Structure formats: structure tokens, C-alpha cells
């Protein structure tokens, strides 16, 4: 597929390209499509870290279009991982639901970087939604012994088809999306404490992410090194 200017910029910034091959595909709860893929050397070349994401390239009526997806259960020993797609009207969802074993898609690794603090935090405060739930799960898996408090926004009940991987010391709260995300922001602001030995991770809709991040930094006075935030999508 012919690439666009975005691909040239990513390449100039050190982006690394790989070709993924579909090994298996299955629907999940009627609202998601899960694909098992071979990474074409991606994991071997780039390593693995919690919340790791890649850019996939789709054909959108003859135009190249890239979207970011979190790796689910990457296995460095086999070079394989899963990808989960929300089923809706879009070129990525159309490709995923039509994908068959042996199909391929191009991927670029650029911009994904996260490591848990060392020493490990005493508590994790995570704010996400259905889009960032795979990343939330990767954090819970990477630090299974650390207590965590998690808020997850959902737009409809079907978005709960991908369950959080919670242990007994993980507190999960599902928050319905209301008032363009204001309900999530207000809920988190009211409940989020300030802690010197915690790590805060915020990844949801862009405006909500900005509002919660401002609260963490300015109101709670949390140090920059204790906070990771990234907008996963934009409502506008």
C-alpha cells in the first residue's frame, strides 16, 4: 500500500516497519474482533514493555490511514501477540472483521515508551476507558503485586466485553460516559488522592485526559515523574 506523508515523518523520526500476519481471528462479545498475529520480527527487534502500542496502516478508500493499537499478551518467545478492534463503522474495523488467516498488514513502531518506576510505586492510580483497557491490563499484569485503583469509562454495556484483569487488591470502577466525559473527570477528581509514593497513569479521551492531568499536577501537586498521560482518542 502506498504510504503518505505521515509515514515519511515517522520514518525520519526513527520509526521501524514490520509486516504482521494474521494467524487466527475471533469475535468477542459482538462488539470486538480479536486477531492473533505473527509480528514479523517486531518483538525481537523492539522488545516488549507495558502499554506497548504500534501503528497499523489501513486502506481508507484508496488513501493510507494509520491507527494505534496496544499489543495484547505479546510473547517474545514466539514473536506473536493479539490485537483487539472495536467493531464500528471505520476502515480499521472493516479490515479486522474481514481478516482471514494469512492476511497481512503493515505496522510501524514509533513513539511507544513506558517503564514502571524503579523503585516500584506503592500504589497505581489508573484512568482509562474501553480504548485503553488493553494497556491498563498490561500494567496490571506487569505489576501484579502492586495495589491499584482503576477508573474505566464506558459508552455502552458492550464495551465491558473486554474485562479488566483485576486481582483481589485491584479496585475497578466502571464510569458511564456522560456529558462529553465530564462525569468521568468529576468522578476521578472527587476520589483521586495525592500520594508521594504512587504512580498516576491517565489515558482516555483527549479533553478528559487533559483535565485529569491538570488536576493531578496542579491541584494534587503530584511530581511530573509520578505521572504518565496520553490521549487515546478525541471526541472532536
- Contacts of residue 159, defined as CB under 8 A and 6 or more positions apart, other chains included, come to 31, 86, 129, 130
CATH number at residue 29: 2.40.30.10
| Per-residue tens of pLDDT for the chain, all 236 residues | 556 656 655 665 567 999 999 999 999 988 999 999 999 999 999 999 999 999 999 998 888 889 999 999 999 999 999 999 999 888 999 999 999 999 999 999 988 889 888 899 999 999 999 999 999 999 999 999 999 999 999 999 999 988 999 999 999 999 999 999 999 999 999 999 999 999 999 999 999 999 999 999 999 999 999 999 999 888 87
Q: Is residue 210 part of a domain?
A: yes
> CA 55 to CA 110: how far, in whole Å?
8
- Contacts of residue 174, defined as CB under 8 A and 6 or more positions apart, other chains included, come to 152, 153, 154, 160
**135, 213: one domain:** yes
**91, 61: one domain:** yes
Q: Is residue 116 part of a domain?
A: no
Residue 113, pLDDT score:
86
193 to 110, 134, 149, 177: CA distances (angstroms): 33, 24, 11, 22
Is the alpha carbon torsion for 214, 133, 125, 150 positive or negative? positive
Q: Is residue 44 part of a domain?
A: yes
**224, 178: one domain:** yes
* Residue 194: Cβ within 10 Å count: 12
Residue 4, pLDDT score:
65
Q: Is residue 155 part of a domain?
A: yes
Which of 65, 85, 109 terminates a domain? The answer is: 109
- The grid cell for 141 is 499484569
**128, 219: one domain:** yes
Residue 235, pLDDT score:
84
Residue 168 phi/psi, 5-degree rounding, is -60, -30
* Residue 226: Cβ within 10 Å count: 20
The residue length of the chain stands at 236
Residue 161, pLDDT score:
87
Residue 233, pLDDT score:
84
Q: Is residue 117 part of a domain?
A: no
What is the number of domains present in the chain?
2
In the numeric block, the cell 496502516 is attached to 57
Q: Domain limits at 41?
A: 5-109
**166, 88: one domain:** no
Amino acid at each position: 500500500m502506498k504510504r503518505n506523508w505521515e509515514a515519511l515523518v515517522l520514518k525520519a523520526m526513527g520509526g521501524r516497519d514490520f509486516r504482521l500476519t494474521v494467524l487466527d481471528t475471533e469475535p468477542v462479545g459482538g462488539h470486538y474482533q480479536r486477531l492473533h498475529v505473527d509480528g514479523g520480527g517486531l518483538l525481537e527487534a523492539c522488545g516488549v514493555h507495558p502499554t506497548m502500542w504500534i501503528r497499523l496502516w489501513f486502506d481508507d478508500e484508496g488513501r493510507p490511514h494509520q491507527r494505534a493499537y496496544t499489543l495484547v499478551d505479546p510473547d517474545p518467545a514466539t514473536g506473536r501477540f493479539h490485537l483487539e478492534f472495536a467493531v464500528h463503522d471505520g476502515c480499521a474495523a472493516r479490515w479486522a472483521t474481514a481478516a482471514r488467516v494469512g492476511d497481512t498488514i503493515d505496522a510501524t513502531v514509533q513513539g511507544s515508551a513506558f517503564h514502571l518506576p524503579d523503585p516500584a510505586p506503592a500504589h497505581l492510580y489508573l484512568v482509562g476507558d474501553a480504548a485503553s483497557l488493553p494497556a491498563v491490563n498490561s500494567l496490571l499484569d506487569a505489576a501484579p503485586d502492586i495495589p491499584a485503583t482503576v477508573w474505566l469509562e464506558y459508552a455502552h454495556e458492550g464495551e465491558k466485553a473486554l474485562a479488566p484483569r483485576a486481582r483481589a487488591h485491584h479496585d475497578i470502577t466502571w464510569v458511564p460516559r456522560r456529558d462529553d466525559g465530564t462525569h468521568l473527570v468529576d468522578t476521578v477528581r472527587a476520589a483521586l488522592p495525592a500520594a508521594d509514593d504512587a504512580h498516576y497513569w491517565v489515558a482516555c479521551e483527549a479533553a478528559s485526559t487533559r483535565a485529569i492531568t491538570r488536576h493531578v499536577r496542579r491541584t494534587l501537586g503530584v511530581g511530573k515523574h509520578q505521572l504518565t498521560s496520553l490521549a487515546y482518542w478525541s471526541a472532536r
